[in-house]
Structure 1
Amino acid sequence: MAYNNDVFVAAGQPLIDAYKFGRLVVGGRAYERDVIITPSGVVPNWWRLEGHRLQLEDVKKYLGLDVDAVVVGTGYHGFMRVDSEVVESFRRMGREVYVLETGRAVEKYNELVARGRRVLAMLHLTC
């Protein structure tokens, strides 16, 4: 494991060990702010233009990432809104897209990774 420009890099795609309101454990490391997980590691302290809204501008740099699926965790209670443009943009790139409350998103992410899929996860940990 290594750290490179605030990105936690693990051997292979990391699994999520645990999630509860405001706390996520990935590969044994705890995070208490929103995160993005890519096939090469974790990008901590993820924030959006508007805290409880995911817009195309928030994800543009991830659109070209080589993944099979995108999992968006909308928060413990599902309060984060996801613009339809976000979902449509990833689908146009040939990606499966799952928008779920974060607890269910964690389960879906782990299921897909366990099946050998390359997954981009964007997880809001509170609300």
Structure 2
Amino acid sequence: MKTNRYCILMGNKKESPKINSIKWGKIKTSDGNTYKDAKLYPGGSRKWDWNETGTCHDPGIQPADVEELLNNNAQVIILSKGFHERLQVCDKTIDFLKENEKTFHILETGKAVKKYNELREKYPIGALIHSTC
């Protein structure tokens, strides 16, 4: 059986991919992907397409945006607000995370990436990373 080195098991939890680099408009992850905006979660990552949930800068990140992270067993959530912090987070999203008893951090993108990479080997973590404004 071939082992995917990016799906390293942490007990019974899969490790989230590392963010190898980020610059304006470009996120590179350890699972070999490049995104403008990314969803990262235990065992994988994918493009974060705002059109799927109607996300826009204001009112911001929707509960449906983080639901996939929780469905992939993320216990800690990182939400990035962009490099200039123009992306907001809906109050409903904060309430949703509290109701689901998740630890979460809402940070400027550079700080969000740093926090995510620090915590990803310790906890089942999910993140929404916005690479522009």
Report if TM-score (shorter chain) is over 0.5: yes
Distance change >3 Å, CA 58–CA 30, structure 1 → 2: closer
Match of 1:29 among 32, 39, 55: 32
Contact 1:33 1:46 (C-alpha < 8 Å) held by counterparts:
no
- Give the structure-2-normalised TM-score: 0.78
Question: Secondary structure in 2 aligned to 1:81?
Answer: coil
Question: Secondary structure in 1 aligned to 2:120?
Answer: helix
Distance change >3 Å, CA 61–CA 38, structure 1 → 2: closer
Contact 1:18 1:24 (C-alpha < 8 Å) held by counterparts:
yes
Considering only CA atoms, is the larger Rg found in Structure 1 or Structure 2?
2
Instruction: Say whether residues 1:119 and 2:125 are aligned partners.
Output: yes
Aligned counterpart, 2:105 = 98
- Which runs of no fewer than 5 residues in structure 2 stay unpaired? 9-14
- Which runs of no fewer than 5 residues in structure 1 stay unpaired? 3-8
Instruction: Say whether residues 1:77 and 2:84 are aligned partners.
Output: yes
User: Alpha-carbon deviations, 1:91-119, whole Å to 9, x = none?
Assistant: 221210100011100001011113x2010
Moved over 6 A (4+): none
Aligned counterpart, 1:6 = none
- Give the structure-1-normalised TM-score: 0.81
Equivalences, count: 120
Report the Cα distance in structure 2 between the residues aligned to 1:121 and 1:45, rounded to whole angstroms: 10
Report the Cα distance in structure 2 between the residues aligned to 1:108 and 1:88, rounded to whole angstroms: 22
What are the equivalent positions in structure 2 for 1:54-69 lying under 5 Å apart? 54-69=61-76
Pairwise CA distance, 1:90: 1.2
Contact 2:42 2:72 (C-alpha < 8 Å) held by counterparts:
no
Aligned counterpart, 1:15 = 18
